[in-house]
């Protein structure tokens, strides 16, 4: 450490201890929050329809892989034959003779966890998307095969065959270590900004002096 006589014409960089403490606590808080981070999983359905019904796509995001009996939240989507439109508002994952995702319009339509579905009357509808190899338990593409639909309208009914692809992707989130380092970086920036240069002879007892 330089003596007081060495500080006659020099300058000092000083660090406000209160500011340092504030930023250090902030860094610890960010590190603590990092422990609550979790991944989410995207289910993207691209469906090819036959029997006069247009192909369609939709998706939903869930915290983890969907299992039998679950009804993941999703944004309602439309299925149409160009003249009539059915809006799917309910869903259910099931396993029976096959594994499936079921969707219906509500009303007189119904779905169950053994991959059963049906429609009582127009203008309701329901569809079954069967998944080859069981419900997904890992990322990747899965084939939609042997899917069916019952889509009633006044005076008739569409019964499309449904196939296509379900793509499952787990979305990445920052690792806790990375977020912790971010917090430390923010603390360091705050520390640096709290450093002030003062003239010798104006030293405050609230500061630690660092000779430049």
pLDDT at 20 over 80: no
The CB density around residue 108, as the number of other CB atoms within 10 Å, is 16
Q: What's the pLDDT at 5?
A: 45
pLDDT tens digit sequence for 146-196: 999 999 999 999 999 999 999 999 976 665 554 554 454 555 455 455 444
pLDDT tens digit sequence for 60-97: 999 999 999 999 999 999 999 999 999 999 999 999 98
Tell me the chain's radius of gyration from C-alpha atoms: 31
Per-residue confidence band for 207, with pLDDT thresholds at 50, 70 and 90: very low
- Let me know the angle formed at the C-alpha of 165 by 162 and 167, rounded to the nearest 5 degrees: 145
E-strand stretches of the chain: 11-16, 40-49, 56-62, 77-80, 85-88, 90-95, 99-104, 110-111, 117-118, 125-131, 140-153, 156-158, 161-171, 195-199, 207-211
Edge-to-edge strand order for the sheet containing 11-16?
Answer: 195-199, 11-16, 207-211
pTM of the model: 0.68
Paired residues of 115 in beta bridges: none
Strand 110-111 with 99-104, pairing? unpaired
pLDDT at 211 over 90: no
Query: N- to C-terminal Cα distance for the chain?
Result: 11
Q: What's the pLDDT at 122?
A: 98
User: What percentage of residues in the chain have a pLDDT greater than 70?
Assistant: 63
List the domain boundaries for the chain. Answer: 4-36+174-211, 40-171
Whole-number average pLDDT of the chain: 79
Q: Which of 87, 63, 64 is CA-nearest to residue 75?
A: 87
């Amino acid at each position: 450490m330089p003596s007081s006589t060495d500080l006659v014409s020099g300058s000092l960089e000083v660090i406000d201890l209160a500011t340092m403490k504030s930023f250090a606590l902030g860094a610890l808080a960010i590190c603590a929050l990092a422990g609550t981070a979790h991944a989410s999983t995207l289910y993207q359905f691209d469906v090819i329809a036959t029997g006069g019904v247009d192909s369609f796509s939709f998706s939903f995001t869930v915290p983890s892989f969907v299992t039998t009996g679950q009804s993941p939240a999703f944004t309602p989507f439309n299925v149409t034959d160009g003249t009539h439109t059915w809006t799917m508002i309910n869903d259910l994952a099931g396993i029976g003779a096959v594994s499936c995702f079921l969707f219906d319009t509500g009303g007189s339509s119904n779905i169950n966890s053994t991959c059963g579905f049906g429609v009582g009357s127009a203008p309701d509808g329901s569809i079954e998307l069967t998944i080859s190899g069981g419900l997904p338990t890992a990322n990747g593409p899965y084939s939609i095969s042997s899917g069916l639909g019952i889509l009633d309208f006044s005076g008739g009914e569409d019964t499309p065959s449904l196939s296509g692809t379900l793509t499952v992707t787990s979305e990445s989130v920052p690792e806790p270590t990375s977020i912790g380092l971010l917090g430390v970086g923010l603390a360091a920036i705050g520390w640096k900004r709290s450093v002030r240069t003062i003239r010798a002879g104006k030293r405050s007892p609230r500061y630690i002096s660092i000779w430049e």
